[in-house]
């Protein structure tokens, strides 16, 4: 019998927090076409974020997420995507490189 795998908060490397502000998300479709949208962060951590946006990005896609107010940005990888009503999608992203939306607790 295998060990039970941790889930949810037990798996996270850093705590989640709320984030107020507009985000720009850019990436490419599976066929290489450029995609760009604004997004709302549902929560963020030093290692990733949960976003809601109007464009569906494929799992595994690298996207650049930029805080429009601070003009800071970083590259993230889409790790999951869920369709929501009204042509909206929620997606989980993990930091690949760059400065996170929120800094790691020191």
Give the pLDDT band (50/70/90) at residue 13.
low
Average per-residue pLDDT in the chain? 83
Question: pTM (2 decimals)?
Answer: 0.81
Contacts with 64 (C-beta within 8 Å, 6 or more apart), sequence order: 24, 25, 26, 27, 73, 74, 75, 76
CATH 2.40.10.220 fits 17-98, yes or no: yes
Domains of the chain, residue spans: 17-98
Look at residue 12 in the predicted model and tell me its pLDDT.
56
The two three-digit tokens of residue 49, written as one number: 């974020």
CB atoms within 10 A of CB 69: 10
pLDDT tens-place string over residues 15-56: 677 777 789 999 999 899 999 999 999 999 989 999 999 999
Any idea of the CA torsion for 15, 18, 23, 25, to the nearest 10 degrees?
Answer: 40
């Amino acid at each position: 019998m295998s060990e039970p795998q941790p889930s949810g908060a037990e798996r996270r490397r850093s705590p989640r927090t709320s984030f107020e502000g507009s985000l720009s998300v850019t990436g490419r479709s599976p066929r290489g076409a450029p995609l760009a949208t604004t997004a709302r962060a549902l929560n963020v951590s030093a290692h990733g974020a949960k976003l809601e946006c109007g464009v569906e990005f494929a799992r595994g896609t690298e996207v650049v997420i930029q805080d429009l107010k601070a003009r800071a940005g970083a590259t993230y990888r889409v790790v999951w995507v869920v369709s929501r009503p009204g042509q909206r999608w929620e997606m989980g992203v993990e930091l690949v490189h760059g400065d996170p939306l929120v800094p790691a607790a020191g």
